[in-house]
Amino acid sequence: MVESYVAERVRKGFGPVRIRQELRHRGLADALIESYLERSPREWSAALSKAHDKRFGPGRACDAKAHAQRARFLEYRGFPTELIAGFLDGRDEF
């Protein structure tokens, strides 16, 4: 049940921070939560990229205001700040 919930939330474009918070709110233990959120950084990067592109398209931000707007959206979706920064700055190792 938890596995399908996590898979659904990832498919809908939510990140590990948000999913962890939702599962804690539902009363699950941290150890159990972490076992279901174990994914490679590449998988979380792909989920972040998909959520970004669905909302903003595949292009990059053209100015600081657009960059900040995208960062806020991805943070709200539950992606870690380091992952967001790497993605928006265009680094390949995000």
Alpha carbons 20 and 34: distance in angstroms, whole number: 8
* Helix residue ranges per DSSP H, 1-94: 2-11, 16-25, 30-37, 41-56, 64-76, 81-88
Q: Is residue 66 part of a domain?
A: yes
Range of the domain at 71: 2-88
Q: Is residue 18 part of a domain?
A: yes
Query: Both ends of the chain: CA-CA distance in Å?
Result: 30
Q: What percent of the chain has pLDDT over 70?
A: 96
Q: Is residue 37 part of a domain?
A: yes
Local confidence band at 94 (pLDDT 50, 70, 90 cut-offs): very low
Q: Is residue 93 part of a domain?
A: no
Mean pLDDT of the chain, nearest integer: 93
Q: Give the model confidence (pLDDT) of 19-28 as tens digits.
A: 999 999 999 9
Q: Is residue 94 part of a domain?
A: no
Number of domains in the chain: 1
